[in-house]
Structure 1
Amino acid sequence: MANLKRTREDILKSVIDTVHRQGLTATGLSELFQVSGASSGSFYNYFRSKHELGHALIDYEWAQLQTNILEPATTQSPDPIAQLFWILDRLEAKQLQDPKCGGCLLGNLVVDLAEQDPAFRNHLIQVFSKWEGAIAQILRQAKPQLQPNTNPDCLAEQLIAAIEGAMLMGKLHRDAARLQRGFATARQSITNALRSSNATSAQASAPQI
């Protein structure tokens, strides 16, 4: 029986796994009502359409990424390079918990929604720009450890592309080893940008795959 007292966050939490697994486009409203446990009236009280739900899921996932990955990274070590490796470790571990390597929800939504509506494309561009900006900010803090010609914004762009590519290929092949190789490539991009003395230290502390 539908729970008429479901909150907005309850609904987002309850539908996110289904949308992650099969996409928003392929998920009908009746299925969303079912998995959320919300009546249609309760659902529409928070989301006027599936389109509006899609935007809410983008914001929700970005907030989760900030709360669970980006913000905690700053408390793990005063070393910004160590913070970047911690972020990669956490993202990789999250994917490895899923036996099917479900990929990044935000990346999946790019494939699912970006061609449907310019509003989705623009929203996802904004979120990925914030993500790249957060990584670039950490790299700017690491400037003394980086080679002089390293551009933090360009390296952040490369890292996000490597991370998303690793998760997308892991999802496609359902292969943990492939996922791990992709994350190893992202780690190597950081190591390659370091001055030689810092690179030796980073290689010594990097996880072995």
Structure 2
Amino acid sequence: MVHRKRTREDILEAMLGRVHRKGLNGIGLNELFKVSGASSGSFYNYFASKDELGHALIDFDWQRLKTHLIDPAATQTDDPIAQIFWMIDALEAKHLNGGDCFGCFLGNLVVDLAEYDPAYRSHLIEVFKQWQQAFANRLVLATAKLKPGVEPQALAEELLTLIQGVLLLGRLYQQPQRLKAGFDQVRRHLREALIEESGTGLG
């Protein structure tokens, strides 16, 4: 088999889908070499081990989420609440348009890797903290729109927890309508925290 030269990003992009479906512990390096078209030499040129690959995949997927979901929200509207609704809508569309729902890649790795190695647990905790903070920062800016007693950090945590639950059950049931209903619950939870719904623009 002839292997063409692959960049680090090529390899991560090619491997991510298979790892998403099977988990990192459920897939061998030979299968990863095959799906990515990378030789073992190319692989070890970028990654010292399978564990290092796992950490690279976490960073790679998180960067994609920031690039395609979190950062673009700010270009859609100046309203921070509308930005959160936009992120929820975009995440729903991403998973509905992806065919079979395999859940959140990062959420799946919590189950797959967090007990396997404490370093993975720490890495994933940091990523989820950043994701939660992306919600919290917007909620802080919109504090005047929140009902009395609603704390931005707590609401951000609740939204992320709900989203992860929706995607986990989406993977279990493989039913688009159930996935849609779950994201509707996320949006409803956010609306219920607002003094009024008007002016949010989205959701």
Q: How many residues are matched?
A: 203
Distance 1:92 1:53 in 2: 27
What does the per-residue CA deviation read over 1:39-63, in whole Å, with 9 as the maximum and x for residues that have no partner?
A: 1011001011111000000000110
For the pair 1:133 / 2:138, whether they are aligned, the reply is: no
RMSD: 1.3
Taking structure 1 as the reference length, the TM-score comes to: 0.94
Of 188, 197, 200, 1:199 maps to 197
- What is the 5 A alignment of 1:86-125? 86-125=86-125
Taking structure 2 as the reference length, the TM-score comes to: 0.96
Report what 1:143 is aligned to: 143
- What is the 5 A alignment of 1:1-209? 1-195=1-195, 198-200=196-198, 202=200, 206=203
CA shift for structure 1 position 98: 2.4
Detail structure 1 runs of 4+ shifted over 4 Å in the superposition: none
CA shift for structure 1 position 178: 1.1
Give % identity: 53
Distance 1:205 1:58 in 2: 30
Distance 2:129 2:165 in 1: 16
Distance 2:137 2:199 in 1: 22
Task: Report if aligned partners of 1:19, 1:27 keep a CA contact under 8 Å in 2.
Answer: yes
Distance 1:4 1:170 in 2: 37
Secondary structure of 1:199's aligned partner: coil
Distance 1:24 1:135 in 2: 28
Q: Greater relative contact order (Cα 8 A, min sep 6): structure 1 or 2?
A: 2
Secondary structure of 2:6's aligned partner: coil
What residue ranges of structure 1 are gaps of 5+ in the alignment? none
| Structure with greater helix percent | 1
What residue ranges of structure 2 are gaps of 5+ in the alignment? none
